[in-house]
Chain A
């Protein structure tokens, strides 16, 4: 689950890679979620052809697989930017001013939730609690959580990303 490197969309090889990911995991009962995680970790998102490929591999209907992908907030069906920034919107973070931080970060990046900055560097997502509620407000940048956040600290983190240090 490291930073997602967008890959060239070569459809046939995408399908082949999804099939390989599935074949490693599909023996275990209830394999669909682990496989979808593997797909998203590999591509940075769940490519459109996934439902069709997995339907065949797991002997499910395409609608069933599609239904699962769309049920869970974690799975995204469009490519993400190079980095994903989650802002916590849950109660403890709200009690420490996350609403203002949220507004400021959106303004800074000039995007709303579920969007990616024009340069493709950052995708913004909401999240409901990161389990760091004693150090609110919190954000998550890729796999690292950052507590006691301010706009200035967020700017510094994003700057470090640009310079390739984060």
Chain B
């Protein structure tokens, strides 16, 4: 019997992995043992079928059921050669050049099989944490230099320290002096999917990270606030939590200790602003997702007024390894004040889109060309937007910038959640500037005027500029509006929505007037 591997991740499913699995089973039945694993994160190759051979796993992709006859004729079950064969998967340069720490298990585990998680080193971080004091756990995370991967890049250890030191008041609804761990799984930024990968492909890693956060801070309850756009992740997480409860990882007396931790998934309802941590907390409390003024910090008065850790999925999923191997191990990756690895997500018009986890410091050019292989269309890359819908559009002149928090900030960009969206020379960036403001208007929580009204005004002004009406006056007006939004908005939605617009004005100004031209008019760059 030959062992085959095929991903059950929603990306693989979205391009036909289940149909392929059915066809394989129908045709090969007893001859194969088909395992549905996590994805490798090489999404342009999905569905990627891997065959176990004495030399290692040989990969084929992207496949459709129509490729099966020719694959079988090419001796698929012995790793035979075929136009869609990529050779030994582990040696593929895309993977071989990465430093996968947080995503080390990708491709090696079945997401909901606990034995697979343990075989990949799962639960070792938790086991070590159970032998440490809360302060020792916090110190380990501080030592790692981990900064929040959700966007704001705040040091995770310092946030945990605040919650550890906070005195929780008694809460009637929970009948205890409760502290919370809230996992921000709203992953609203376009071009990002690393949170989804953790949740769908290795859900126990997130559970372990949240457990360690609970031990570190004295929290007894946790919520995963999950975006409604991820139905597959929702199902996987629910099952993973049930399994973890059955095995004594969640609930009372975690692994026989005196610690307890209860974890629930809560589904969001399609509002980008609920990724902002205070709006998220309002939403978890059953209210409109309105941003709260800070202070008080959520760490001190968070969910239901109790001390609360709010961390992104990737931040939490990085913690098991930090506890397992030590903070210093993690810190030794990266450069400057950007420590460890960053799971970058290559998306949009890119030939080899997928997950690229590397230590901080790799340049944008290496990511786009060495990993990404250039644009999907084969045309010149004109711009990349990094860090989601509030991130700047960066021109090729800056492609040699190393990816770290400070270096990107120096050119007006941001790492954010690590999404990199690629545009070729046919993209209409004037349209993207208008879209940035349209999105801000659509998603504004409405609490402050510069964001609520300013974004709508900016759309109108942009439309006039694109029609060629009083371009100069309107451009001045646009700059004014952007400045006001930046300076007077309560949160980063209104405060940063001007970034994409201003970057387009700065680097691609002539495209603002391109509304009447053909789309290829951007090709002069």
Contact = CB atoms under 8 A, between A and B. Distances in A.
**A, B co-complexed:** yes
B169 to A, nearest CB: 15
Interface in A22-59: 29-34, 36-37, 58
A72 B267 CA distance: 12
A1 B238 CA distance: 14
Interface residues of A, number: 44
Contact of B231 (A68, A128, A143): A143
B14 A68 contact: no
Given A92-B347, A92-B421, A68 B15 contact: no
B44 to A, nearest CB: 7
A37 B353 contact: no
The range of chain B's interface size is 35 or more
Contacts of A93: 190
Contacts of A145: 10, 13-14, 232
B347 A74 contact: no
A129 interface: yes
A101 to B, nearest CB: 14
A116 interface: no
Interface in A74-98: 74-75, 90-96
B427 interface: yes
B385 interface: yes
Interface in B333-350: 345-350
A31 B266 CA distance: 10
Given A68-B287, A95-B422, A148 B15 contact: yes
A29 B14 contact: no
B269 A37 contact: yes
B272 interface: yes
B15 A134 contact: no
A14 interface: no
Contacts of B347: 92, 133-134, 136
B425 to A, nearest CB: 12
A94 B288 CA distance: 29
B423 A95 contact: yes
B391 to A, nearest CB: 9
Contacts of A99: 431
B304 A91 contact: no
A19 interface: no
Contact of A30 (B230, B286, B389): B286
Contacts of B283: 33
A136 B288 contact: no
Contact of B348 (A30, A64, A96, A131): A96
A133 B190 contact: yes
A124 interface: no
Interface majority SS (helix, strand, loop, mixed), chain A: mixed
A104 B341 CA distance: 41
A72 B11 contact: no
A130 B385 contact: no
B11 A147 contact: yes
A99 B432 CA distance: 11
Interface string B7-18: 000110111000
A29 B269 contact: no
Contact of A127 (B44, B229, B424): B229
B439 A128 contact: yes
B228 A131 contact: no
Interface string B243-272: 000000000000000000000001111111
B209 interface: no
B354 A91 contact: no
A31 B243 CA distance: 24
A128 B288 contact: no
B267 A34 contact: yes
B349 A95 contact: yes
Contact of A134 (B268, B286, B350): B350
B413 interface: no
B434 to A, nearest CB: 11
A144 B10 CA distance: 8
A91 B15 contact: no
A129 B286 contact: no
A148 B286 CA distance: 36
Contacts of A67: 288
A74 B43 CA distance: 28
A128 B190 contact: yes
B267 A132 contact: no
A162 interface: no
B429 to A, nearest CB: 11
A50 to B, nearest CB: 14
B191 interface: yes
A140 interface: yes
A134 B15 CA distance: 11
A96 to B, nearest CB: 6
Nearest to A96: B349
A96 B11 CA distance: 16
A4 interface: no
B404 interface: no
A34 B286 CA distance: 8
Given A29-B304, A133-B419, A134-B354, A73 B270 contact: yes
A71 B288 contact: yes
Given A127-B229, A140-B229, A92 B271 contact: no
22 contacts: A1-B231, A29-B285, A30-B285, A37-B269, A68-B287, A71-B271, A72-B270, A74-B270, A90-B191, A91-B190, A91-B389, A93-B190, A94-B427, A127-B270, A128-B439, A129-B187, A133-B353, A134-B345, A134-B354, A135-B11, A135-B44, A136-B347
Interface of B: 10-11, 13-15, 43-44, 46, 173-174, 187-193, 195-196, 228-232, 266-272, 283-289, 304, 345-350, 353-354, 376, 385, 389, 419, 421-424, 427, 431-432, 435, 439, 443
Given A29-B304, A96-B349, A128-B389, 4 more contacts: A74-B268, A90-B389, A92-B421, A131-B192
